[in-house]
Amino acid sequence: MLVLDQVYWRAPDGEEIVKGVSLEIAPGKLTVVTGPNGGGKTSIAKLVAGLMAPTAGRILLDGEDITAMDITGRAQKGIAYAFQQPVRFKGVTVRDLLEIAAGNPLEEDELCGLLGKVGLCARDYMDRPVDASLSGGESKRIEIATVLARKDAKFLVFDEPEAGIDLWSFTNLIDVFGRLKEERSRGLFVISHQERILEIADEVVVIAAGQVRLSGSRAEVLPQLLAGEKQDLCPIHQRA
């Protein structure tokens, strides 16, 4: 279990962005966080991943206090994070990046499988550099593939994974989330406004103005959002 216990975070300019958020992210479940832009969702994902440290409160992993750990320490504990804006590394190929994430060399079929899951023609991409040769959408999909390569990860954190990818790749991504959810072996923590992702969630959390405004099962929360009862809380991107 990954737990946020009364977590606060204040930006360098002094503005309080996250205000006493308490969440439980269960293993084997898909938890989707949604809410208005600027409400603190990405800050919460970064706090979970260890990119930022809370100004107050605790973060626990299976009962262990990991609040003081950075992203490297949390990765070693089993938390994998997909950046909203992927980092590009000069001189590193797609193959290198996936093998670094996996922690071991990968056979060509394994590389193909990972890249195929995010909608890339695998053999065309394996040995391409991950800096200037890739578009923003391609980089985003490869970033998602590196998280999927982390077989040792207990919790996978995705910040708006649909951003910058085409409809076909997005459909593949929904399938990947569905399969991971069925495996029930890893917890998924996804920030998204997409109705199709919300529809396969186990738990839905609505964050607005840095606080939890709604939280519960998909069956409890999603009908309120789709019916327009809480449109001030969640601008859902619905199906075309």
Q: Is the distance from CB of 177 to CB of 197 less than 8 angstroms?
A: yes
Segment 20-38, tens digit of pLDDT:
999 999 989 999 999 888 8
Provide CB contacts within 8 A for 121, sequence distance 6+.
115
Taking only the tens place, the pLDDT of each residue in 173-222 is 888 888 888 877 889 999 998 888 999 999 999 999 999 999 999 999 98
Per-residue pLDDT averaged across 147-162, rounded?
89
Find the helix packing angle between 108-117 and 167-183, rounded to 10°: 110
Mean pLDDT of 156-167: 84
Query: Residue range 58-80: average pLDDT?
Result: 95
What is the rounded CA–CA span in Å between residue 179 and residue 164? 22
DSSP codes of every residue in 180-215:
HHHHTSSEEEEE--BHHHHTT-SEEEEEETTEEEEE
- For the segment 122-133, the average pLDDT, to the nearest whole number, is 78
Domains recognised in the chain with CATH numbers: 2-226 (3.40.50.300)
Q: Supply the pLDDT for residue 240.
A: 38
Among 191, 199, 84, 183, smallest CA distance to 143 is for 84
| 97-103 average pLDDT score | 89
Q: What is the pLDDT of residues 71-83, one digit of tens each?
A: 999 999 999 998 7
Residue 236 has a pLDDT of 59
pLDDT exceeds 60 at position 231: no
pLDDT of residue 131 exceeding 90, the answer is: no
69: amino acid identity, one letter? M
Q: Note the pLDDT of residue 119.
A: 79
Q: What pLDDT, on the 0 to 100 scale, is given for residue 46? A: 94
* Nearest one of 217, 156, 215, 118 to 28, comparing CA atoms: 156
Select the more confidently predicted residue: 209 or 236: 209
Confirm if 162 and 173 have CB atoms less than 8 A apart: yes
Sheet strands side by side (includes 16-25): 16-25, 2-10, 56-61, 64-65
Band (pLDDT 50/70/90 cuts) for residue 66 is: very high
pLDDT score recorded for residue 229: 54
- What phi, psi does 8 have (nearest 5°)? -120, 150
Q: Look at residue 118 in the predicted model and tell me its pLDDT.
A: 82
